[in-house]
Amino acid sequence: MVNVRPFLLAQGVRAMFGLNEKVVFAGHGVARISRIIERSIGGSSCKLFELTFLNNDMTILVPINSSSHTGIRKISSSDNVEKAYLTIAQPAKKTDCPELTASSWNKRNRDYHNKLRTGSLLDLSEIYRDLSYIATYKELSFGEKNLLKQTEQLLAEEIGESRHKDPDEIIAYIRSSLCKYSLAEIPG
């Protein structure tokens, strides 16, 4: 088990996250806070988290003082994971799937990406559910297929960390959890 050590931002003020803690970075997945770095930016000293992502070779720096505003959050609780599973298992309503209305693809895509940027596990589960149901009704566009794959991976990473399970196991579970209703049968 990794030792998570909180540190002081200023005298007596603790950071929200600790060194070696696993966190979620919105739209990118689960990362570990590998180091705290102090850099001079614009003539003033700034402390930064170095985030090392678990499932790829990416490392980024995020200012500690604005970390909560940049999409970093703690791994979801068991209660939140259960809510995500319930969201995935619920049938999508036609009103949840703007693909079935006259709205444009650009607006739908923008809405999905806005949800993705929130980093919320529940928003990810809604995107996953809706795109999965739409895929049973029509062929997804290239962008929608990529977004579906990305949300599935992000869900699997975070839920896997929360539940201490392999992401592939989580993917199999969420795929089997999808409601099997046809969109044509869903009241709108």
| Eight-state DSSP code of residue 33 | E
Q: What are phi and psi of 40, to 5 degrees?
A: -95, 120
Block residue for tokens 């990810």:
124
Q: What is the pTM of this model?
A: 0.81
What pLDDT score does 180 carry? 61
Confidence of residue 35 (pLDDT cuts 50, 70, 90): very high
Name the residue type at position 144: E
151 vs 154: CA distance, rounded Å: 5
What pLDDT score does 68 carry? 65
CA 104 centroid distance within chain: 25
Which CATH code fits 78-185? Answer: 1.20.58.1290
Query: For residue 88, is pLDDT > 80?
Result: yes
Largest Cα separation within the chain, whole Å, is: 62
Domain ranges of the chain: 8-74, 78-185
Looking at per-residue confidence, does 68 or 6 come out higher? 68
Classify domain 8-74 at the CATH topology level: Thrombin, subunit H (2.40.10)
